[in-house]
Amino acid sequence: MNYFSRLPLFVSLILTQIIQFPDLLLGQGLEIVHIEGVCAVPNLPKGFERFNYNEMTLEGRERGLRKIGEIKTFFTRKNVLEESGFVSLEAELVAVSDLVEIWVDITEWNIRVDQDDADQLVIAFELETPSGSIDPSKGILALEIEYFGLPPDVDGNGKVILLILDINDNYDEETNPSFVSGYFDQADQVSDTHPQTSGNVADILYLDSNPGNKRRDEVLSTASHELQHLINYNYDRNEDSWLNEGLSEYASKLAGYQGRGFGKFLSQTNRGLTVWDNLLQDYARTGLWMTYTSLRLGLDAIKQLVQDDAHGVGSAENVIKSFSPGTSFPEFVYEWTIANLLNDSAYGYKGIELPSIIPQNQYFQLPINGVPGSVHSYASSYHEFSGGTELEIFMDFFGRQDVKATIFTFSAATTVAPVVLDANGAANIELPGFGNEFSRAILMISYMDDALDSVSYFYSASGIGGYEVVELSNDDGETDFFIKSFDTPSVSVASLFNSINTPSSILSVKVFMGSNDPISIQIRDNGINSNFIFEKRNITPAINGWTEINLESSEIVVSAPTAVSITVADSIIIGYDEDSNGIGNAFIKTNNSFIALSNLTFNNGQSIDGTWMIRLLLRQDIEIDTTSNSETAIRGDDWIEFEYSDGVVTIPYTVATEGEVSLYLYDILGRTVQSWREEGQKSPGRQHQVFWNGKNAFGHTASSGIYFIRLMTQDDSAVKKLRFIK
């Protein structure tokens, strides 16, 4: 087998299915869309060197002088998704400019690809990019040369070849709707005289014609992504995948194409920045980091990242030192994880709206028993507290000092407070204003090192009260596909939630979108076509993931069936669950009023009786009765405070009825630390007491933290909290 058939490729895979139904009743245009996409990781095998243009013969250099209509043989992959070697194809040169040559497989020319397609590619690569581009007056190639660097120019003709073909990727419109929209092949960067290569000795980007010819923007976005890989290869062919892919993700957005969104990462943040497993979360994470880096350090920093001869973290360290002296890579990444949460003037993306982070854990009631976990290298996890009062958190990193804990509180102003760990890697975090001055706090746990893949932590929280969260949904949790509107200037869809019978406060709305085009949400509590009682605009959703829009501060109370509508100025791409019954709860707006989605059919007669991926989260307060008429109680203040240096602590108690008494001291995990069995009959109306010396049942000094004392009689019981400080 040809050794180069095992060369990994930069492959952009788009899992997409387009089924167009333009003739819905009432003229509503919708199509079904599946959205995914990954890119393979290229590494040239050791022992193979990039071909040197200066070593080419004069005859080889003259191959760069081409004429329109010329036919040339190219070698392409038998299957870009498998180790399958090469096949040859004949392609015709159909367009030439100063920077690019457009070649088209002769079996595709004037069938799926015509002269207009070729001319549009020349315009996109050399002359102009979309309005969202950093410079719409320049093409993709011109922009990337300016902001990243030069392609390798392995054949010395000063041009990049765009070869349009039906990429061999197992695509079938009915049975396998995923397709590879384009790729860059390292095999083209080695000498054609080498006995083990079938590369083409040229700077080539391969672009798909089937079904890519129908998806021009997606193919151009892919082309800008793959072009960065080609340029990066010129400067560092062994660049770490996380950095290389992050730069390519940024390249698409630099050129004004939507590319992938960031929601896949912001909903799963506990994943190391430098880890690369070719998952969608990896693209979202590295693309977001590169966006942050460009905004904080500038575009010259991005260019230096491409051209720096170190790899991965080494390159990032060099660039950060150059553009932000005194800031280390771990500090930079830590501040990035703060920016992902706050995105404000001090920590943020300078005007770019992000989907909100979805915390790893959310707590609405106190207390919280022990929570063990781990945080990965160069990552942060977020833990939100938003219910109850008297919040105090005990944090333990088991002796480690290289882990960071940070507390954020949210009121009129947001506070950011690093947590100081004691010598044992632990801390008690007191938030006395919680539940009064502010009602939301987030604990961020960060490990900004790569000595270990992850480090362990443990925390618990004490406090009183909170509320229950009720999540209302009409779907089964699985997005079967997206539905996209077209040929409409604006579109609204809505879900109706019928199970609201008592007054409830709206906490948030969740939506599952397929585009990050800004959306607006409306709340309607008096019928699907009633006026909305609340609206929030200009929300940037995650792509292909849940976006949660927090509405708690808006104080919206509903007490009857409530509708949530989503509006987009142009077209909407929203998740759809075809397996759930949407009759009576899924609606779409036509002719200025909402009608049931189930009243519509596609032009093939298929009914649309599923439901939208929209959810509503409600708050229901918990009433806490802190009074007790029982005489069975542990006396004293709300807390028993005990510092080990005091020697012992007295635990006073009374009982309601005469009898034997037992007391137990538990840690936050519910493990028994110490116990007392009071022999003899204890009389009511008198105060009794036991003593604790700070040691457990084995005679070892207990750890600092929060404990619970439980008093038990034959008929009654009582509990009190104890704070122990060594």
State the pLDDT at residue 449: 96
Q: How far is CA 406 from CA 19, 421, 429, 442, in A?
A: 48, 11, 10, 8
State the pLDDT at residue 37: 52
Q: Residue 399: left if φ>0, alpha if ψ -120 to 50, beta else—which one?
A: left
384 with 250, same domain: the answer is no
Contact (Cβ atoms closer than 8 angstroms) between residue 534 and residue 551: yes
| Per-residue pLDDT reduced to its tens digit, 631-681 | 677 877 777 888 877 888 888 888 888 888 888 887 765 667 888 887 766
- For residue 41, count other CB atoms closer than 10 A to its CB: 18
Structurally, the chain folds into a number of domains equal to 4
458 with 394, same domain: the answer is yes
State the pLDDT at residue 481: 83
| 651 found inside a domain | yes
State the pLDDT at residue 2: 34
| 412 found inside a domain | yes
Helix 299-307 to helix 216-235 angle (10° resolution) is 60
3-state secondary structure of 432: coil
Range of 415's domain?
361-469
673 with 525, same domain: the answer is no
Non-local CB neighbours of 116 within 8 Å, separated by 6+ positions: none
590 with 643, same domain: the answer is no
| 299 found inside a domain | no
Name the residue among 378, 349, 394, 409 with its Cα closest to residue 270.
Answer: 378
| 642 found inside a domain | yes
503 with 381, same domain: the answer is no
Name the residue among 483, 478, 471, 469 with its Cα closest to residue 586.
Answer: 483
Taking the C-alpha atoms of residue 393 and residue 428, their distance in angstroms, rounded to an integer, is 6
State the pLDDT at residue 630: 57
Please state whether beta strands 361-363 and 379-385 pair in parallel, antiparallel, or not at all (unpaired). Answer: parallel
State the pLDDT at residue 4: 35
Taking the C-alpha atoms of residue 407 and residue 417, their distance in angstroms, rounded to an integer, is 5
| 530 found inside a domain | yes
| 557 found inside a domain | yes
556 with 639, same domain: the answer is no
530 with 652, same domain: the answer is no
| 309 found inside a domain | no
598 with 694, same domain: the answer is no
Domain boundary among 424, 450, 469: 469
184 with 41, same domain: the answer is yes
368 with 510, same domain: the answer is no
Domain boundary among 448, 469, 490: 469
452 with 482, same domain: the answer is no
55 with 116, same domain: the answer is yes
Domain boundary among 436, 469, 502: 469
Intervals of the chain under pLDDT 70: 1-65, 191-198, 486-489, 602-604, 621-631, 668-671, 680-681
> What pTM does this model have?
0.76
Beta bridge partners of 208: 165
DSSP 196-252: T----SS-EEEEE-TTGGG-HHHHHHHHHHHHHHHHHHHH-TT--HHHHHHHHHHHH
What is the CATH classification number for the domain harbouring 523?
2.60.120
